Amino acid sequence: MKKTVAFHTLGCKVNQAESESMKRLFREHGYEVVDFTAPADVIVINTCTVTHLADRKSRQAIRQARRRNPRAVVAVVGCYAQTAPEKVEAISGVDVLVGTRKRRDIVDLVEEAAREKRLINAVGDIRGATEFEQLPLDFSSRTRAFLKIQEGCNQYCTYCIIPYARGPIRSLSPEGVREAVELYVQRGYKEVVLTGIHLGLYGADLPGEINLARLLERIVTVPGLERLRLSSLEPLEVTDELLQVMAQRPQICPHLHIPLQSGSDHILKKMNRPYTAAEFSQRVERAWELIPDLGLSTDVIVGFPGERPEDFSATYDLVRSLGFSRLHVFPYSPRRGTPAAAFKEQVSPQIKEERVHSLVALGRELALAFHRRYLGRTLPVLVEHDRDRDTGLLAGYTGNYIRVLLAGADTLMGEIVPVTIRAAGEDGCEGILAVGE
Ligand code: SF4
């Protein structure tokens, strides 16, 4: 009988994709992947540490796995295992610990632990990591492929735990990126999303003159590639060179996600963000100039320690003036192990809530205004494989990341189709198939 493995994954899209890659490794070694609730020979918990809650959920998942499967080998992987291995080891019943490196060896480590009946701790010091660990490609997403091309971050924003969990920046070679994109295209994917922990610094660790803009030039020529999308970029990495490539290459989606975090220079400095509000605005204005249909989304942290009413107003006004198409608002939550957790002048929960509320309302207003700009226009939409849950309509995304609903047959799923926009709301648009009009 085949050996079985079950996964439980916490946290972000990068973690989800890495779990899918590890599942492939197990399958290649003859394992069958079963549901987390089913009995299994091996259980892998891919943990997250972005907040205290994520730590707690990671610990709960480990305990739950052990309780349900007393005889299974339990392997704990990922960011929480990397930053707090001693806490994970202290949970009874953990057999294997792997951080954010050596995930390629997960099957060997699990089998070694099973054979030798001892705990194997493979978490190394991430600070010295220099190699990009390439895991097998993830084919789990049906509509678009997510390709991680960069790992780690050297920025150390004062609120963020990620550099401690993921280590310094490392990049996949340009040849490796091109090869992976070719494989995805051969598998029929219409859209490839390039991801990374600090994507804009792609190539900074590689020899030669490679950077993200030059990498894009090298891969847009992959035959059959229809759409290439970039995930989050830091403002100073949205260079003219990058914007020019985006403007000239129709395959690159006109969409940028640039975290603003605050519109107050005083707060940006306390956050250790390396730009001013004016520099952020200049980058965005240049982006609009070169790419008029750009969809621009951002993240804002509200209630960072020391955020005065005037700092919040500066953020509010900047967000309004820049007209983002999508806004993600996060109340600041202190993360143990980061400098900001020890800052004085923590903002009260009530003030945070009020500020979150007003920015969320502004975000809705801006999204609606952005969507209305497209009424009557026809846009290419990549149709998802899942229908909209509420309406049962097909759903998809434009290049500039507007969610569009439309009536149509399942055969359109996975296709890029022209859609004429007929209605606009806060969450997206509705339209009709333009074929035959
Ligand atoms: S740039 Fe800042 S927020 Fe982003 S991962 Fe690095 S330290 Fe965290």
CATH topology of domain 378-433: OB fold (Dihydrolipoamide Acetyltransferase, E2P) (2.40.50)
What residue ranges in 141-244 does DSSP mark as E strands?
Answer: 144-151, 170-171, 191-196, 227-230
Give 272 Cα–ligand 1 centroid separation in angstroms.
10
Give 95 Cα–ligand 1 centroid separation in angstroms.
31
Give 153 Cα–ligand 1 centroid separation in angstroms.
6
Q: Which segments in the chain show pLDDT lower than 50?
A: 437
Annotated domain spans of the chain? 4-124, 144-372, 378-433
Distance, CA of 202 to CA of 218 (rounded, Å): 14
Q: Which residues' Cβ are closer than 6 Å to ligand 1?
A: 153, 155-157, 160, 162-163, 197-198, 234
Q: Express each pLDDT in 368-379 by its tens digit.
A: 999 999 999 999
User: Which tokens in the block code for residue 45?
Assistant: 């918990």
What CATH number labels 4-124? 3.40.50.12160
Distance, CA of 193 to CA of 201 (rounded, Å): 16
Give 151 Cα–ligand 1 centroid separation in angstroms.
12
- Residue 398 in contact with residue 404, Cβ under 8 Å? yes
Tell which phi-psi region holds residue 61, choosing left (phi > 0), alpha (psi between -120 and 50) or beta: alpha
Q: Express each pLDDT in 165-189 by its tens digit.
A: 999 999 999 999 999 999 999 999 9
Q: Whose CA is nearest to atom 1 of ligand 1?
A: 155
Distance, CA of 240 to CA of 229 (rounded, Å): 18
Give 79 Cα–ligand 1 centroid separation in angstroms.
14
Distance, CA of 354 to CA of 346 (rounded, Å): 15
Q: Whose CA is nearest to atom 8 of ligand 1?
A: 160
Distance, CA of 4 to CA of 72 (rounded, Å): 10
Q: Which atom of ligand 1 is nearest to the CA of 166?
A: 5
The model carries a pTM of 0.94
Output the pLDDT for position 251.
97
- Residue 216 in contact with residue 203, Cβ under 8 Å? no
Output the pLDDT for position 92.
87
Residue among 48, 148, 162, 304 to mutate when testing ligand 1 (max atoms within 8 A of CB): 162
Q: How many CB atoms lie within 10 A of CB 414?
A: 18
Among 53, 118, 126, 41, residue whose Cα is nearest residue 83: 126
Output the pLDDT for position 436.
58
∠ CA 248-255-359 to the nearest 5 degrees? 150
Report the Cα–Cα distance between both ends of the chain, in Å, rounded: 57
For the sheet with 227-230, list strands across it. Answer: 170-171, 144-151, 191-196, 227-230
Q: Whose CA is nearest to atom 2 of ligand 1?
A: 157
Give 28 Cα–ligand 1 centroid separation in angstroms.
34
The one-letter amino acid at 407: A
Q: Classify the C-alpha dihedral 161-163-167-169 as positive or negative.
A: positive
Distance, CA of 300 to CA of 310 (rounded, Å): 16
Q: Which atom of ligand 1 is nearest to the CA of 261?
A: 3
Token pair 């998802």 in the structure block, residue: 384
Q: How many CB atoms lie within 10 A of CB 190?
A: 18
Chain-centroid distance of CA 366 in Å reads: 23
User: Which tokens in the block code for residue 270?
Assistant: 């306390």
Give 217 Cα–ligand 1 centroid separation in angstroms.
26
Q: Which CATH class is domain 144-372?
A: alpha beta
